[in-house]
Amino acid sequence: MHMITVFSYTFCRILNVGLMFVKDRLDLETAIGYRTSASAVLIAKDQVAKEQLLPSHELNFTIRFDECDARLGIGMSTELIRDENVDVIIGPTCASTAYIAAVNAVYYNIPLFAWGLSTSYALSDIARYPTIGVLSVTSYSLGVAIHSVLLSFGWKQIAFLYSNEDEIQKCSILKNDIQIRLDACTKSGFTHSNGKIEINVLVKRPPTYERSSVLLYIDAFSDMNEIIIAIVVEIKKMKLEDITQALDGGFKRTFILAAKDAGFLNAEYVYIFADTNAKGFHVPLLGGKDRLVWEDTNTPKDNRDAEAMIAFAQTLFISDNMGSGKVAEDYEAFNKAVISRMKDPPFNCVDDCKGTNYSYAAAYAGQLFDSVYVYARALNSTLRKDATAFRNGTTIIENIVMTFDGMSGVVKMGKDGIRYPFFYFDGVGESGEQVLLGTISVEDRQGLYKPLYTSEKEIWWARGGVRPRDVPLCGYAGDKCPKNFVKENVAAIVVIAVAIALVIFAAIFSTCYVF
């Protein structure tokens, strides 16, 4: 239960809201694109008015495009705060620009709410960023989710491979934050029912995802680890003139088929794909469509889709399902509203928002809605205590603890300004469908893995129903196989056998002599 104060001022104060978007990055359109997400703030504004959270205040929006470029991020966040006199910034949507804008917001004590792909764990440092709220899922939380799954299956040694086919540094940030989590587990000795957990992390980064490059790096750690965490970018950047084409990608498919062809996809290896910007084995495309990760996107086709599906059936996926979580019917209405209201002020996006590519809301549009709503709720609580603190970022974030059903699922905000996330653990069924195997909720840096299968054999159907071992039965070097008693004790067995034979012979001889 929460308390909301309804104000009854006789005047209306304008709250200037700065919005930072990505507009002309086709590779980010399905996730955080301006043309398919921005109007979520209007829908949130209506909800704020409906609940009378800020009845004597009017939200006014000022828009800037940082394009996930750190240089633009620093300039535009400064411009919004200093020149436009905004009271809050909603955005940026990428980790690289969120860092920069957050520093500005802290300096001016302005609240800032990051969403979308602003996944950096650094933003959760409340001492360093006391005016920052984060609605997106942090990559550190993904590390917590990975750790929870590893504990559940008793896997204590992993290799960690990540892609650098990435221009917004997402993979590098993911790698760093996840490694911080796993290193912390190693050093602190997290306990489990089987005792202390020690996780050895080996980081490898292929220069490209060509088959030869993949094989080089898999071979490098194949004799050290069999549980492989893979952060592999699925979508590559395209030029704006190619906007009518479907986004290509296919790196995961190239990766897993290369591993299979080289003999690194068998009963001894487990590949776990992990990402904060994914829907498991479904790859989102422009216009609200998607494809399965094993489907070939090249021309001509290699006719290996069925083979690739079986290969992916031996892998697992941990993701946030791209922020989805709202009931399908409710979200569909929200999706239609986002697209239709882009024509409304201040966006007035008509001709520029036409076409199939802009016919479905961006995956993280729900987080944008929730960012505005969280701000309004926190500001409501703040003004109830101090009516002059409408621009005091530190005080507003101190009032951010809340839980509600948002457009991006259940929103539970912690006292450090970070949202407690929810992850999905997916596999592939025998008919080629994505199967939800479990969920991982993360709170206060601890993860709770909840399996949703009745028998673990359901996970390993492509492996004969047997869970892969953490370490090969004979060790990585093949020198730790259980010793064969007969081979190891041939001499002793011969001596014992001879002795037994002599005893039997003597007994028979004695019996004959007596008679």
| DSSP type of residue 81 | I
Tokens of 56: 């004597």
Amino acid letter for position 448: L
pLDDT value at residue 104: 96
Predicted TM-score of the model (pTM): 0.82
| C-beta separation of 181 from 140 below 8 A | yes
Rg of the chain over Cα atoms, rounded to whole angstroms, equals 28
CA proximity to 378, closest of 408, 392, 398:
398
Alpha-carbon span 442 to 422, nearest angstrom: 6
Task: Give the C-alpha separation, 121 to 321, whole Å.
Answer: 19
Local mean pLDDT, 10-residue blocks, the chain (515 residues): 46 91 91 96 97 95 96 96 98 92 97 93 91 92 88 80 55 65 52 42 55 66 62 44 37 85 82 86 86 89 94 93 65 92 97 93 95 98 94 98 94 94 93 94 89 92 84 52 56 64 61 48
SS (H, E, C) 17-59: EEEEEECCCHHHHHHHEHHHCCCHHHHHHHHHHHCCCCCCEEE
Under the phi-then-psi rule, with left for phi > 0, alpha for psi from -120 to 50, and beta for the rest, what region is 421?
beta
pLDDT at 182: 63
Cβ atoms 316, 429 nearer than 8 A: no
Among the listed residues 163, 274, 272, 153, the one whose alpha carbon sits nearest the alpha carbon of residue 213: 163
Q: In this structure, how many other beta carbons lie within 10 angstroms of the beta carbon of residue 34? A: 27
